Amino acid sequence: MTSLLGQTAEARAEAFLVSHGLKRLARNWRCRFGELDLVMQDGATLVFVEVRLRNRSDFGGAAASVTPAKQKKLLAAARQYLSTLKTLPPCRFDVIALAGDAPPEWIKNAFDDVG
């Protein structure tokens, strides 16, 4: 997300995750495959977080907007991120879905390796 609204959503998602004990490692990490909104650490686990904001719930809302095509892009970017590390930690993909002023919906292990 690059818009001001998107940046605000990412900051809100990050604060929510930090309040649940996660530590931020990167925000808006970019590579040729795309962007990782947040890279967080949850204990020994590396968590790639996609932040989705929707004002309406048409077509399934924010969580449903992480399509298989988007998952493939996230996976490719995550693999690129992992290639920068000396050792590979356990990983997962989470989604933080935001809708208006409602509490964030945290979907842990939102999807697996789709490649």
The domain segmentation of the chain, as residue ranges, is 4-100
C-alpha span between 85 and 110 (Å, rounded): 23
CB of 77 closer than 8 Å to CB of 33: yes
**CATH code of the domain occupying 4-100:** 3.40.1350.10
Q: Which residue has the tokens 């292990």?
A: 109
Closest CA to 49 of 96, 16, 11, 98: 96
Flag whether pLDDT at 86 surpasses 90: yes
Flag whether pLDDT at 1 surpasses 50: no
Lowest-pLDDT choice from 38-47, 62-71, 90-99: 62-71
56 Cβ contact list (under 8 Å, min separation 6) = none
Backbone angles phi, psi at 5, to 5 degrees: -60, -40
In tens, the pLDDT along 3-62 reads 777 788 999 999 999 999 999 999 999 999 999 999 999 999 999 999 998 765 555 555
Q: What is the pLDDT of residue 80?
A: 96
Flag whether pLDDT at 2 surpasses 60: no
